[in-house]
């Protein structure tokens, strides 16, 4: 019996060591489940989803930090602490964040929703929620091998004060715009709503729990997830992802991981609509639907929608394609962030769930003063303020131009010489051709502010699209 127990222990140890050896990089995960919302009905599944994903990620070699029902301050603190852990582990670390709960888009930006939010208007969300781009920026601020963000967060908008004006679902986030080495996975396509599910887990998490256990790259895993969720919801929901990964990642290692895992990732060539039509021609509807859902490109959906236009799946494909193109146009307008850009969007999509937001942002930008023109305009400053603004130290006064004379003059010190001393320079006799510089002390205890408006200009940076790093509409 002792020998049998010892043998079992040796086998378990060998498996554990083999698993650790299979994952050369460090793996850290933050799992957030938001169920107990205070101002709206509770979500039953995010707590279950977070628990199940924590176990899956732990089995996949991740060191998991699982938290639930976070307030806004707690969510921000958890993200910051997680980034610190990633930094401590070093640049050879895979950082993964899984979030289950409510998510919203406001003015083209995506927000994760803490359990303590209670918005009465759209403007309350940026104050009470957590920007998705803030999470991405925090993760990108520390060196890591790659960042993976999985969002089961596109459920219906439960807040009555903003449900009729905010856009549906989440906005597009393009990983290629942000830092390389990022993978974003959403439980449904941009602008669409995800289902919470009737079982113990949401359709997205249920599919992940199965697909992630099969060998293959993360791209292959998410293809299986897309097909599984689309089939489970009868076409109502299709996950979506965006990637800027340059290295291979696999939840589990298999024979296929040998060799290609270290090779550079090459972008697959897109097939044209005509090529897709030839491939899909004559196939059963469900078979063809699985092919285009796994591919996820506009060309595949366009071909399918044309070939199977009279079927329910064909109508769903057309809806997906129209919504996806609208969300791409919306993302472009948000990134450009000009009145003309929003007018162009409205001209193309005059009646959608984003119409009210586009009109609001267009009007806000149209009525905003031209800051560049104001800054460029000359400002009249009273002579009193000029004197006050003048330096009082002789060493800081710009020297007057020296007169050129025909007769040789005494060699003078270089006026631009960097050698400065704090003590009073030695007094010397004035040459006949010397310029006289008189420095007057400013009038004491007298100040009059210059007239004119005070102009403040904020300049944003780059990011992941969807409004990253910029003020929307003049905020």
pLDDT for residue 191 is more than 50: yes
Same domain? For 248 and 300 the reply is no
Q: Which is higher by pLDDT, 235 or 160?
A: 235
CB 169 within 8 A of CB 193: yes
Same domain? For 280 and 191 the reply is no
State the pLDDT at residue 24: 67
CA distance 238 to 229: 6
State the pLDDT at residue 46: 95
State the pLDDT at residue 245: 94
Answer yes or no: is 422 within a domain: no
- Across 181-202, b (16+ Cβ under 10 Å) vs e yields bbbbbbbbbbbbbbbbbeeebb
| Per-residue pLDDT reduced to its tens digit, 444-473 | 544 444 444 333 333 333 456 555 444 344
In this structure, the number of other CB atoms found within 10 A of the CB of residue 385 comes to 14
State the pLDDT at residue 466: 55
The residue segments making up the domain with residue 45 are 24-253
Apex 75 CA angle, 70 and 78, nearest 5? 115
CA distance 457 to 455: 7
Answer yes or no: is 264 within a domain: no
pLDDT for residue 17 is more than 90: no
Same domain? For 147 and 242 the reply is yes
Q: What is the mean pLDDT of the chain?
A: 79
What is the SS3 assignment for 197?
A: coil
**Mean pLDDT value of segment 190-210:** 92
Same domain? For 35 and 149 the reply is yes
How is the chain split among helix, strand and coil, in percent rounded to 5?
A: 40, 10, 50
Which 8-state DSSP code applies to residue 448?
-
CA distance 327 to 357: 13
Counting other chains too, the contacts that 223-232 makes at CB distance below 8 Å and 24 or more residues apart are 223/294, 223/296, 224/294, 225/185, 226/293, 226/294, 226/296, 227/290, 227/293, 227/294, 228/203, 229/187, 229/188, 229/203, 229/204, 230/289, 230/290, 230/293, 231/290, 232/203, 232/206, 232/207
Same domain? For 158 and 287 the reply is no
pLDDT classification of 69: cutoffs 50, 70, 90: very high
Same domain? For 281 and 248 the reply is no
State the pLDDT at residue 412: 47
Flag the least confident range among 83-97, 121-135, 163-177, 317-331: 163-177
Answer yes or no: is 291 within a domain: yes
| Per-residue pLDDT reduced to its tens digit, 239-288 | 999 999 999 999 997 644 444 444 455 556 789 999 999 999 999 999 99
State the pLDDT at residue 162: 80
pLDDT for residue 99 is more than 60: yes
* Cα 11 from chain centre: 44
Answer yes or no: is 419 within a domain: no
Last residue of a domain, one of 343, 369, 395: 369
pLDDT for residue 135 is more than 60: yes
pTM, full prediction? 0.74
**Mean pLDDT value of segment 120-125:** 90
Last residue of a domain, one of 369, 396, 430: 369
Whole-angstrom CA distances from 170 to 15, 322, 330 are: 41, 16, 11
- Using alpha carbons, select from 196, 170, 192 the residue that is nearest to residue 100: 196
pLDDT for residue 389 is more than 90: no
pLDDT for residue 27 is more than 80: yes
Answer yes or no: is 395 within a domain: no
pLDDT for residue 354 is more than 80: yes
CB 23 within 8 A of CB 87: no
Strand pairing category for 103-106 and 109-112: antiparallel
- Using alpha carbons, select from 124, 71, 74, 69 the residue that is nearest to residue 100: 69
Same domain? For 83 and 158 the reply is yes
* Cα 441 from chain centre: 54
State the pLDDT at residue 257: 43
CA distance 250 to 270: 23
| Per-residue pLDDT reduced to its tens digit, 411-444 | 444 445 445 545 555 555 444 444 545 555 555 5
Helices (H) and strands (E) in the chain, counts: 15, 9
Which 8-state DSSP code applies to residue 433?
T
pLDDT for residue 7 is more than 50: no
Answer yes or no: is 172 within a domain: yes
- The CATH number that applies at residue 118 is 3.40.50.1460
Answer yes or no: is 326 within a domain: yes
In this structure, the number of other CB atoms found within 10 A of the CB of residue 29 comes to 24
| Per-residue pLDDT reduced to its tens digit, 236-246 | 999 999 999 99
Last residue of a domain, one of 346, 369, 392: 369
- Number of folded domains in the chain? 2
Same domain? For 204 and 311 the reply is no
State the pLDDT at residue 72: 97
pLDDT classification of 202: cutoffs 50, 70, 90: very high
Same domain? For 48 and 134 the reply is yes
Same domain? For 162 and 278 the reply is no
CA distance 74 to 306: 49
pLDDT classification of 343: cutoffs 50, 70, 90: very high
**DSSP-assigned beta bridge partners for residue 29:** 64, 96
Same domain? For 277 and 239 the reply is no
In this structure, the number of other CB atoms found within 10 A of the CB of residue 366 comes to 14
State the pLDDT at residue 262: 46
Same domain? For 219 and 321 the reply is no
Answer yes or no: is 444 within a domain: no
Q: What is the maximum span of the chain, computed from C-alpha positions, in angstroms?
A: 113
pLDDT for residue 403 is more than 70: no
148: Cβ contacts below 8 Å, ≥ 6 apart = 94, 95, 96, 97, 182, 183, 185, 218, 249
State the pLDDT at residue 270: 84
Q: Across the beta sheet with 26-33, what order do the strands follow?
A: 63-68, 26-33, 93-100, 146-152, 182-186, 240-243
pLDDT for residue 312 is more than 90: yes
- Using alpha carbons, select from 317, 325, 318 the residue that is nearest to residue 349: 325
């Amino acid at each position: 019996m002792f020998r049998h127990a010892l043998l079992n222990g040796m086998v378990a140890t060998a498996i554990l060591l083999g698993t650790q050896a299979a994952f050369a990089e460090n793996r850290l995960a933050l799992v957030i489940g938001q169920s107990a919302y205070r101002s709206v009905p509770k979500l039953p599944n995010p707590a279950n989803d977070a628990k199940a994903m924590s176990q899956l990620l732990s089995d996949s070699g991740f060191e998991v930090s699982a938290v639930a029902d976070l307030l806004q301050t707690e969510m921000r603190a958890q993200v910051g602490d997680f980034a610190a852990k990633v930094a401590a582990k070093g640049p050879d670390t895979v950082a993964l964040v899984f979030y289950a709960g409510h998510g919203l888009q406001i003015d083209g930006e995506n927000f994760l929703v803490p359990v303590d939010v209670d918005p009465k208007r759209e403007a309350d969300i940026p104050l009470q929620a957590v920007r998705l781009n803030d999470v991405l920026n925090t993760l990108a601020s520390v060196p890591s091998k790659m960042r993976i963000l999985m969002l089961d967060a596109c459920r219906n908008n439960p807040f009555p004060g903003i449900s009729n004006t905010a856009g549906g679902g989440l906005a597009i986030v393009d990983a290629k715009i942000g830092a390389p080495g990022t993978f974003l996975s959403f439980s449904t396509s941009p602008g669409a709503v995800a289902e919470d599910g009737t079982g113990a887990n949401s359709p997205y998490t249920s599919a992940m729990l199965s697909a992630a256990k099969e060998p293959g790259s993360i791209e292959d895993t998410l293809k299986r997830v897309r097909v599984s969720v689309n089939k489970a919801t009868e076409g109502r929901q299709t996950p979506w992802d965006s990637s800027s990964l340059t290295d291979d990642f696999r939840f589990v290692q298999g024979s296929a991981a040998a060799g290609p895992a270290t090779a550079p990732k090459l972008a697959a060539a897109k097939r044209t609509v005509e090529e897709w039509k030839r491939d899909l021609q004559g196939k059963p509807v469900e078979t063809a639907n699985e092919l285009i859902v796994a591919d996820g490109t506009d060309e595949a959906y366009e071909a399918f929608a044309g070939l199977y236009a009279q079927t329910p799946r064909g109508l769903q494909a057309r809806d997906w394609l129209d919504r996806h193109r609208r969300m791409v146009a919306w993302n472009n307008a948000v990134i450009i962030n000009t009145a003309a850009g929003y007018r162009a969007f409205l001209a193309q999509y005059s009646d959608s769930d984003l119409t009210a937001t586009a009109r609001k942002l267009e009007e806000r930008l149209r009525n905003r003063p031209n800051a560049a023109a104001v800054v460029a305009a000359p400002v009249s400053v009273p002579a009193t303020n000029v004197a006050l603004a003048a330096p009082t130290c002789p060493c800081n006064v710009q020297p007057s131009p020296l007169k050129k004379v025909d007769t040789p003059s005494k060699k003078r010190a270089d006026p631009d010489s960097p050698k400065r001393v704090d003590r009073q320079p030695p007094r010397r006799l004035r040459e006949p051709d010397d310029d006289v510089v008189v420095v007057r002390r400013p009038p004491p205890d007298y100040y009059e502010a210059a007239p004119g408006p005070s102009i403040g200009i904020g300049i944003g940076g780059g990011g992941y699209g969807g409004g990253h790093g910029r003020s929307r509409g003049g905020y």
